[in-house]
Amino acid sequence: MTDEELQQLVEAVSLEWFERPFRHKAVFNRRLRTTGGRYFLRTHNLEFNYRQYEAYGIETLTAIIKHELCHYHLHIKGKGYKHRDRDFKVLSRQVDAPRFCEALPEHHHYNYEYHCVQCGQVYLRKRAIDVHKYSCGKCRGKLQLTRKV
């Protein structure tokens, strides 16, 4: 999906669910990691996490759009647009906007795997550790390098 297609989708969702036009800019920000979208108070523009769209599809993106449009329309009207405000909570329920977006699947790249020789607890690490200096956090047993990736 391109930024132009996203802009059209946001405008369509705004008209369908809020019965008000979206007159500002909506774009994907590929650097977003911990949030599904953002609303900017000064410019009234919206940014969305492209990874959410990639991982979960158009339905989840539409839900995130509704959430951000709640902030947008309430702020424009001069009403409570923050998560804790009653106006925001009421409007979110009316348009079925989620409170939070789904967590993205994690992509950790571990280079070392250690296991405890007593209890079998497994530890994944990016950096090597000194097995003579550290012990198992569960049973205080000795650690052993299982594999190096």
Residue 70: predicted pLDDT: 96
Residue 107: predicted pLDDT: 65
Rounded to whole angstroms, how far apart are CA atoms 58 and 124? 34
Mean pLDDT value across residues 62-67: 96
Per-residue model confidence as pLDDT tens digits over 25-58: 999 999 988 889 999 999 999 999 999 999 899 9
Rounded to whole angstroms, how far apart are CA atoms 68 and 37? 7
Residue 34: predicted pLDDT: 83
Show the tokens assigned to 21.
């036009």
Rounded to whole angstroms, how far apart are CA atoms 98 and 5? 22
123: amino acid identity, one letter: Y
Report the b/e string of 110-143 with b at 16+ CB within 10 A.
eebebbbeeeeeebeeeeeeeeeeeebeeeebeb
- pTM, rounded to two decimals: 0.71
Per-residue model confidence as pLDDT tens digits over 68-88: 999 999 999 999 999 999 999
Reduce the DSSP state of residue 30 to 3 states and report it.
coil
DSSP state, residue 112 = E
Per-residue model confidence as pLDDT tens digits over 4-31: 999 999 999 999 999 999 999 999 999 9
Q: What is the mean pLDDT of the chain?
A: 93
Is 115 annotated in some ligand binding site? Answer: no
Residue 109: predicted pLDDT: 81
**Would you please indicate which residues are annotated as catalytic (active-site) residues?**
68
pLDDT at 61 over 70: yes
